A and B are shown apart, each in its own frame.
Chain A
Amino acid sequence: MNPRRKKRLTIVASILIGLGVVSGLVLYALSQNIDLFYKPSEIYNGKEGSGIKAINGQRLRIGGLVVPGSVKRDENSLKIAFKLADMKMPITFDENEPMVTVKYDGILPDLFREGQGIVANGVLNTDSYVIEATEVLAKHDENYMPKELEADSTKPHTESKGY
């Protein structure tokens, strides 16, 4: 390679490596702000890595799986309360794992059901681990399959009954 091209290539490569390192460090420093939500266990123990805990009355997003059997509906209104546990694969639930209760008054997304990933936005009460949500979004996983196959599969999601 002739010297001029070599020089240009070196300049371009070093600028790119420099920028890569800089943006890597910036993103690392900002990672807790880029994270969209807290996991239920992070509400109890603080953010993974930094250990920063959410304070009482903080507005935050919580992301987790709807614990089967925890969904309670008010018969006369849209009010609903349910518990969220950490998302994990394969999906399992344990009574003793950290759970956060979400209270919400509004229309739920179509995908809402027991065992479904949910991201809720609301105000945290650290005494009772309850979040008064103003918005509930469904988080879809990356698995797609036809209806017929779902019956045969190992049932990753609990069937929803009537709600």
Chain B
Amino acid sequence: MWKWLHPYANPETTYHLTGRLIPWFSYLTIALLTIGLIWALLFSPADYQQGDSFRIFYIHVPTATLSMGIYVGMAIAALCSIVWQLKLADASAAALAPIGAVFTFVSLVTGAAWGKPMWGTWWIWDARLTSQLILLFLFLGVIALHNAFEDKGLAGKAAGILTLVGVINIPIIKYSVEWWNTLHQGATVSKMGKPSMTIDMLWPFIFCYMGFIFLIVVITCIRFRSEILSRNSMRPWVKELVLAEGGK
């Protein structure tokens, strides 16, 4: 059933595959983010209550939801690494962690910048904000563990266990606004049925959202490749690669 995946467990194959994919994903990212951000920040209508401050939504919501998405991806990699002991899964988890940390940080900062004029406060210890802050600490912990051990296998195992334990936080972030009463509002786009936005606000959002997804893909590929190289630096294929590059 999984036979078609087997060649990609080989670092060399994956290294070359990602190398071929990066340019395409980069063009897509640039196109989507350029269209999406210009449309969202300059041309989409202002909100009836919040005016232009609402536009931070187009960066806040993608970074916040995708930070959770990155965490889930990292958790799946950790599971594969612990159960099937795939070395590449460790490399991909290590590649994802800093990207997730940055996305979480951006979501917290943009949220604070919006919260000050709209709510009247930068920060409040409500369930949504607190659990998102915990997500940032989980990412930082995973990064620290990946770098805490000389032996990459051991580091991957320790970081993987933390990642899997921390996955409990994801449903808490997602449903915090429903389970408890919070200052943070409920879901706008991802709720069942009709999104609570008009269509001329939703389209630029979709472009931004897709743009941020492919931005993650591109950065992950680049970081994944360098992780593969540094973890396989003693292998003959890496040495050949370095010699060939050096000869150019």
A72 in contact (CB, < 8 A)? no
Q: Taking the nearest CB of chain A, how far is it from the CB of B111, in angstroms?
A: 12
Q: Taking the nearest CB of chain A, how far is it from the CB of B2, in angstroms?
A: 11
Give the chain A neighbours of B164 by CB distance below 8 A. 12, 15-16
A141 in contact (CB, < 8 A)? yes
Q: Tell me whether A146 and B201 are in contact (CB under 8 A).
A: yes
Given A12-B82, A146-B198, answer yes or no on A138-B54 (Cβ-Cβ < 8 Å). Answer: no
Q: Tell me whether A144 and B127 are in contact (CB under 8 A).
A: no
Most buried by A among B82, B180, B186, B201: B180
Measured CB to CB, the nearest residue on chain B to A136 is: B120
Give the chain B neighbours of A23 by CB distance below 8 A. 168, 172
Q: How many A-B Cβ pairs are below 8 Å?
A: 110
B206 in contact (CB, < 8 A)? no
Q: Taking the nearest CB of chain A, how far is it from the CB of B134, in angstroms?
A: 12
Cross-chain contact of A146 among B47, B79, B124, B180 (Cβ < 8 A): B47
In A111-146, which residues have CB < 8 Å from any B CB?
111, 119, 135-146
Q: Taking the nearest CB of chain B, how far is it from the CB of A109, in angstroms?
A: 3
In A2-40, which residues have CB < 8 Å from any B CB?
5, 8-9, 12, 15-16, 19-20, 23, 27, 31, 34-37, 39
Cross-chain contact of B50 among A35, A111, A136 (Cβ < 8 A): A111
B241 in contact (CB, < 8 A)? no
- Interface SS, A side: mixed
Q: Tell me whether A19 and B168 are in contact (CB under 8 A).
A: yes
Bitwise, B61-97 to A at CB < 8 A (1) or not (0) is 0000000000000000001001110000000000000
- Can you spell out 8 A-B residue pairs with CB atoms less than 8 angstroms apart? A35-B180, A111-B50, A138-B119, A144-B54, A144-B197, A144-B198, A146-B45, A146-B198
Binding site for A on B (CB under 8 A): 45-50, 54, 57, 79, 82-84, 117-121, 124, 126-127, 164-165, 167-168, 172, 179-183, 185-188, 191, 196-198, 200-201
Further contacts, 19 of them, CB under 8 A, given A34-B127, A137-B124, A142-B191: A5-B84, A12-B79, A16-B167, A20-B168, A31-B179, A35-B181, A109-B118, A109-B120, A119-B183, A138-B118, A138-B119, A139-B119, A141-B186, A142-B185, A142-B196, A143-B196, A144-B47, A144-B201, A147-B46
